[in-house]
Structure 1
Amino acid sequence: MGSRLKGKVMSVTDYGAFVELEPGIEGLVHVSEMSWSRRPKHPSKLVQPGELAEVAVLDLNPAQRRISLSLKQVLPDPWTTLSDRIKVGAVVSARIRNLTEFGAFAELEDGVEGLIHISDLSWTQKPKHPSEIVHKGQLVRAVVLSLDGQQRRLSLGMKQLETDPWMALDSKIKVGDTVKGKVARVVSFGAFVDLGHGIEGLCHSSEMGGEEQAGPKPLEAGSEHEFRVIRLEPAGKKVGLSLRTAPAPEPPPEKTKRPESPSTMMQALSSAGLLPAEPAPLAPAKPAAMGGEPHA
């Protein structure tokens, strides 16, 4: 087992090709052993009857007269050297080969496919299925997010080619701002509001009405309203919205005036000319002369 031999392709079927190793001795190369590609091709596109082929022996069962052969085992496994050719963070071109509910498989080269998870297709669109954004056979550009050659796993992302709109949100709106939004969907605890450019905010049911109302305002999907931003967390991708009127700011506290002293008040009145001038001081009385009147 494992030895390499050369043989002649005798016939090709839907499930593989029969190769003659010696006169009267044939082995089967199953379709899954014809190429490293996960996307099996019809054997007739890889080999033709009469061609010489180098194969590796996988299994030998003389009792059942069966020999299992492989074409791909004599070729280098592209995954073993993939990390030498591409690095995490590199931008690559790939062709969409298969679509599933959780993402799209894209082929970088023969035998190497990567997964673009549905959450990594777009920042702004929220597809329910990858077919809403990409289709089979489409050539796309993507960023290598992770690479594990031993596990044969490759993660790709298309949205990483663009700037995350959440990272620039705090430069566009701030808490207290009024924004216009369209109700995307209504849930039991509130409504999610589309603010544009892939940004959604939440208006909680407790923020839908005012004190003068008996209950919250009913919101319908598709309706447009003006909301007040009450919470903004771009890192957590959260925007809190409210339909309530912003509370009026409290008036500043009045400054208590200290009572003026009488002397200060008198000086102010005097400076304003509201008090008469002070009278001149009286001259001191002269002392009486000594002695009495002369006697008659």
Structure 2
Amino acid sequence: MLEASLVDRQDFEDTVVKGKITAIEKDVAVIDVGLKTEGRVPLKEFSQPGKPADLSVGDTVEVFVERVENANGEAVISREKARREEAWDRLEKTFEKNERVDGEIFNRVKGGFTVDLGGAVAFLPGSQVDIRPVRDAGPLMNIPQPFRILKMDKRRGNIVVSRRAILEEDRAEQRQEVVKELNEGDEREGIVKNITEYGAFV
């Protein structure tokens, strides 16, 4: 019976399980995941970028079990890793289908920005923010918007996204819609965008 119990407990490790919050102490949540031992998770792991954690005793949450029991007899669990696992599974399917993914730009880093994709953090290169260079990215920060995943490497925990690709796709669709409406002989107002020796671009 002891051996069977140990096998069952080991099966929990490196998996995402549901647990119940039994107490909230200062800056940690005490969570029972059904292992006869409880684990403690910092409240900050339950918060979203720019948003505080919203938890109550009795809430059911999903956590990642790193170890069934540590030297103190507690389960070593993580909400952050659970969110990351969930997000990676979802994003891999999105990447395979070449679909858009929603995210929020929440920080500026060297060479670009970091984007929260609902649990996984991606890198947005500065060249992929917009079609034209962006001087002030402030208005783009902390608002939900679509991105295109350019590259994923789970082993390295690396995701690269583009906002520019979405803008280019939308502009191409708009151009196609306008072209469909144009007919020879139509009279339309336009804006002169450039003048050259051989003519004007309107």
Q: TM-score, normalised by structure 1?
A: 0.36
Which structure is richer in relative contact order (CA contacts within 8 A, separation 6 or more)?
2
Higher helix share: 2
